[in-house]
Structure 1
């Protein structure tokens, strides 16, 4: 009580009192009306006496409730009692982790479905470690590169272990780490659809240099360590140079692939972001221009989006040879670079798709999109595709902010911070 008296004499404390608190101190206690009898009428009023109706006070207001509230707040600030915590649902932010630069992030996953991510941030020439638990992840970086210290497959495993939802799926990101593994899936697809509908380039896989004995038909292109930024890619024109390349493969102690050298008329890149399609070809000025989307192009990218565990963001690279034939050479996932004059539009498409899928995941709706069945179409027909956001962004509020791999809030187009 002595502590309470000192607090009541403090002007700062008095200024923080609820509205009407001091007036409550000066109000006399109102008489309680007698309970009405079963047959009694209204209470008689003497002449000259005003009849003022008694206004009932709301529950939880008045002197005692005011002082109780103030005492609780004061005691809590003094550390005497523990404040009632705010429900987690009312202040829990939804975190989107965007991995778009090479970083050695530390991911600790737990079997109960949680995941702790620690990132190092440079602030005022000091390294600060930030830890948080992501609700969703967008991976725009290659998870596996042949360069030194750029094998991040362990992080993909950690995120998958904790069941963190992502775009693209973590399964597809892991499947696309090794390009020969991805090409093996394309071979299976080609066997199902046929070489005419899904024309992949012929490719030979050598697990090590010892198997590079059978001589292919030259000229060929040998890719050593065929992952992102592999050890090397060399055009080989005869048997002697092929043996020289085999010795290089022996030194690197990795695998290699071999495919015929195609005299290209032009290269083709078909990309798909959600329901938006674009086709590009390079120009002489090292630029790209958008071209018509033929039905065969759409079939290629739709087919690839259904394998590898699902690809919401993907691109197919192909060569149109001088022989008039097409050759599919590669498929890329969410780490694909954005090209052409519609990069800002493509970024917004990715942002809208992230918000839609995060709302979908948070609503615990686990229905998968219906697979697109390939059908017979005229390969020379042109598909009319309207570009632009395929889905409207849902009402803001699901996301509070996002973090990049440096732990910094990014992406004002994605969400608005509350």
Structure 2
């Protein structure tokens, strides 16, 4: 089995079309199944040594990762299907599985969601040491929200202008001893996109929630005071490019990221840039990130809620330009790593 998977050609089930250039193409694996056409965006792009870039775009559920230290192939990624939005390179067909040996990876989708856990595949890429933007190590740590929140609180304790919302962590229902301000917000596991979060109004409701958490003995939980807000902030950093957005919910739901809301670009002040620059130092350095904050309605104070990494979504009105920034940064990283 491994002999066929790790053959010199690196292909299993499909042969790679010959490249018209004298230099063999560099294979870029893009993990983004929900949007955008990366093969089209990188069409005609080459590295500084003249090698063309062959782009394979798919999602975490649609790959298998095989690694071996016995072979010069090092890693083979089996793609069961292409991203629906992706343009296929010449010579490839959408209904055939292929196996590639990626030289570089761009990750734009969450590894772990409420319905899927792709950490085993991410670990395969880590085992093989494939270069990636952001780094694979940082992406793995972003699968564990307490690690990210811990980095935020360390910055705050160091005296930086980094007003993080107070939080309580418990490793299971047995250590859930929250007795601070109510109402509060509980976040189970590595809560994502509004899922796994609940507003708790008092101690009695917290007791009921604790009984629910007992049904999930392997899950941790974080609790923070509920802040009545006048809006949310999102500070975005892609390389040296910054943006700031303000989002205001209009449906009355306290989760403005899951309800109907208005999101407008605002000035990215020097303070917001400092927040993004500080977060960019996390876990060896982040190329793509967003800082999410909330504005307290009564006082106007701003509290940082969380940082998101390489899978940070883009504002639809700014996506074309921001993907251009990601493309530019990606080519710089690939040239630095592969040339």
Q: Give TM-score scaled by structure 1 length.
A: 0.61
Is the Cα contact below 8 Å between 1:113 and 1:164 reproduced in 2?
no
- TM-score, normalised by the number of residues in structure 2: 0.75
- Structure ranking higher in strand proportion: 2
Partner residue, 1:274: 239
Name the SS of the counterpart of 1:308 in structure 2: helix
The separation in 2 between residues aligned to 1:113 and 1:306, in whole angstroms, is 33
Residue 79 (structure 2) aligns with: 119
| Residue aligning to 2:96 | 128
**Structure 1 match to 2:182:** 218
1:105 aligns with 2:63: yes
| Counterpart in the other structure of 1:234 | 198
- Give the structure 2 partner of residue 71 of structure 1: none
Provide the C-alpha distance between the structure 1 equivalents of 2:22 and 2:131, rounded to a whole number of angstroms. 22
Equivalent position of 2:149 in the other structure = 183
State the alpha-carbon separation in 1 of the partners of residues 62 and 144 from structure 2. Answer: 20
1:104 is displaced (CA, Å) by: 3.7
- From 116, 119, 128, the equivalent of 1:153 is 119
Give the aligned partner of residue 209 of structure 2: 245
**1:295–1:210 Cα change, 3 Å:** same
The reply to whether residue 339 of structure 1 matches residue 315 of structure 2 is: yes
**1:231 Cα deviation (Å)?**
5.6
How big is each residue's C-alpha offset from its partner over 1:36-84, in whole Å with a ceiling of 9 and x where there is no partner?
xxxxxxxxxxxxxxxxxxxxxxxxxxxxxxxxxxxxxxxxxxxxxxxxx
Determine if contact 2:239/2:287 at 8 Å carries over to the other structure: yes
1:129-149 per-residue CA deviation (whole Å, 9 max, x = no partner) reads 2001001100011111232xx
Which of the two has higher C-alpha Rg?
A: 1
Q: Distance in 2 between matches of 1:181 and 1:211?
A: 18
Q: What CA distance in whole angstroms lies between the structure 2 residues aligned with 1:287 and 1:265?
A: 12
Alpha-carbon distance change, 356 to 231 in structure 1, aligned in 2, over 3 angstroms: closer
Cα 1:236–1:163 shift into 2, 3 Å: same
Find out whether 1:202 has 2:166 as its counterpart.
yes
Query: Aligned-residue CA RMSD in angstroms?
Result: 2.3
CA positional deviation for 1:324 = 2.3
Q: CA deviation at 1:121?
A: 2.7
Unaligned runs of 5+ in 2: 1-17, 34-58, 83-87, 251-259
TM-aligned CA distance change 1:328 to 1:141, over 3 Å: same
- Structure-1 residue corresponding to 2:3: none
* Deviation at residue 213 of structure 1 after TM alignment: 3.1
Counterpart CA distance in 2 for 1:229 and 1:287 is 17
SS in 1 for 2:303: strand
Offset of residue 232 of structure 1: 2.2
1:94 paired residue number: 26
CA contact (8 A) 1:168 1:312 kept: yes
Q: How many residues align?
A: 271
Separation of aligned partners in 2, 1:183 and 1:126: 41
User: Could you tell me how far 1:113 is from its partner in structure 2?
Assistant: 7.6
